[in-house]
């Protein structure tokens, strides 16, 4: 169950990073609300997941979910470059996350 909490923490990390970009120095109240709700929820789920998942593994996976999700959303919605090299490096991050999950003792 804690792996699901870790996944949720990573998904909410995507929410707060996108909210951070869109909140326009706290002028856009919708995105500001999304930012704060997402960051609080993200850290809550991360804290719950850390009860059984080793911190190094959990934090690496958490930030990887956030980074990969944010890059993908940036490519789709913010017209950031979707080059083969960027996609290749995303695949490297994914392979590292899979390796950490497979070698986790918990």
Residues 6+ apart with CB under 8 A from 7: 65
Residue pair 2/60 in contact (Cβ under 8 Å)? The answer is no
How many domains are there within the chain? 1
Res. 106 pLDDT band, cuts 50 70 90: low
How far, in Å, CA of 40 to CA of 93, rounded? Answer: 25
User: Is the pTM here over 0.75, yes or no?
Assistant: yes
How far, in Å, CA of 23 to CA of 75, rounded? Answer: 19
Only one residue has tokens 């059984």, namely: 52
Residue pair 103/64 in contact (Cβ under 8 Å)? The answer is no
The boundaries of the domain holding residue 59 are 2-103
- Report the pLDDT averaged over residues 75-86: 96
Q: What is the pLDDT of residue 100?
A: 84
Residue pair 83/32 in contact (Cβ under 8 Å)? The answer is no
pLDDT greater than 80 at residue 34: yes
């Amino acid at each position: 169950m804690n792996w699901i909490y870790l996944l949720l923490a990573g998904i909410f990390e995507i929410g707060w990073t996108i909210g951070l970009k869109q909140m326009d120095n706290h002028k856009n109240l919708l995105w500001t609300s999304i930012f704060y709700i997402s960051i609080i929820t993200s850290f809550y789920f991360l804290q719950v997941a850390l009860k059984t998942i080793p911190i190094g593994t959990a934090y690496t996976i958490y930030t990887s979910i956030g980074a990969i999700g944010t890059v993908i959303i940036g490519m789709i919605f913010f017209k950031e470059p979707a080059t083969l090299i960027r996609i290749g490096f995303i695949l490297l991050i994914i392979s590292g996350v899979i390796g950490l999950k497979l070698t986790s003792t918990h």
